[in-house]
Structure 1
Amino acid sequence: MEITFLGTGTSQGVPVIGCTCAVCRSLDYRDKRLRVSVHLQVQDKSLIIDSGPDFRQQVLRERIDHLDALLFTHEHKDHTAGLDDIRAYNFRQRQDMPVYAEPRVLAQLKQEFSYIFAEKKYPGVPQVQLMPLESDTASFFVQGVEVHPIRALHYRLPVLGFRIGGFTYVTDANYLSPEAIERMRGSAVIVLNALRHEPHISHFSLSEAVSILEDLAPQRAYLTHISHMLGRHREVEATLPDFIRLAYDGLRVRL
């Protein structure tokens, strides 16, 4: 499996519009963070988790010329706004795009992208095949790839993380139940969100994320959904345990 971080930033991205802090003014390419998304190349299948507002820019940068399916963690705009840009894959591949998400999330997509689902469609709109995830415990298959959902809470909003083989991805969470933690245990690589140093109502702080990862003890762990308030990449990463790194846009990890 090859994992490519398409984006590692929070909802505003980094730099933040109008901000002149040291992180937003940094010249380090690792401090330039688009909205969070990840690409997985697994069993000859190309999968993407979340398509935010930077989706087009991200897939062009990484030259992802084929996409087999799209999975959504939840319905917030920084994770769904790029759905329209799957049109290019429809045209190239001559097929509808399978979209996997919980029914609540699919309902939100139908509302926000109503033209995709209109009875009389405008020519050229995205073509999707909705694949509702009815259970947050039962595994499902995406083009033959087995995926295990991981339930988390984003404040009061239920969100999904995903485990595929030895890889687990959880973003936009501030609570994982003991059962969810056990579903993650044994992963070789874990990705977890860490917004900033201070506690936050809907995201893990750095210390909270590190504590969870130290308990799970994967071979490698990467932090994502990072805000400019966390600090400069180079300085923060130097404080982390050896097996935990900050993800950055364009980072590739092989498993």
Structure 2
Amino acid sequence: DATGDRFSAAAAIAYKTQQFSTGLSQAYVGGDYIAEMGYIRRTGYYQIQPVIGYKFFPVSERIANHGPTLGAEAFFTPELSLTDREIELGYALEWMNRSRISLEYEDGYVKLLEPFDPTNTGGDTLAAGSEFWWKEIELTYASDSRKLFNYMLTARYGGYFNGTRLNLNAEVNFRVQPYGSLAMVASYHKIMLPEPYTSADFLLVGPRLDITFTDKLFLTTFFQYNNQIDNINVNMRFQWRFAPVSDLFIVYTENAYPGN
């Protein structure tokens, strides 16, 4: 075939009731597929992703619902050889005030298709064709998002290729109605690998400010610091809604490297 396999397709189906939910999605991307619009992480794969969940609604003054979920995601080559697989089992509980806590267990597998540096720091790479299995556990708590002040905290720990990883995430939001909101997102990754591979600590901090001047004028400002590349990114977006479904955007972006 002179053009190669440039075919791609995707489909999804879902069924949901108040208590029961299930779904199945799949995608295929040919090895020579070229995305005319958007971005795809890789080519030459078949993906399938089933999920099922159930909710219990107890007679309680404090608990709104709780229940398990079971999901999986797998990637295959076009010849149906498995390259990636994740199985996730979780349990979530939601209170009457809409705050929520969840616990998730993940069993993962990957077969590297090319050499890979787990920390992307220029250290030794894992060889193509290497296979890795790992297990992770994640705990998440989210407060009532309807309140002016709300937050979400996540902790994740477990295997990472041939080592271990600790991940801590926090997101805090504060709304000053009707003038705007202030948010802060922080993420910390500690990757611990055996010698001679490179271990690393990564920190990402990103405040965001939204200001509403009128019902037609808005300003959104992002700041983000990434210690992996010692980078500070600033993004400011001014929005004027001069007519229904018609907006003018003025965007300013700057990248700074304090070390330079």
Please give the range of the TM-score, normalised by the shorter of the 2 chains.
Answer: under 0.3
Which structure has greater strand proportion?
2
Query: Whose RCO is larger (CA < 8 A, sep 6+)?
Result: 1
User: By percentage of residues, which structure has more helix?
Assistant: 1
Taking structure 1 as the reference length, what is the TM-score of the superposition? 0.26
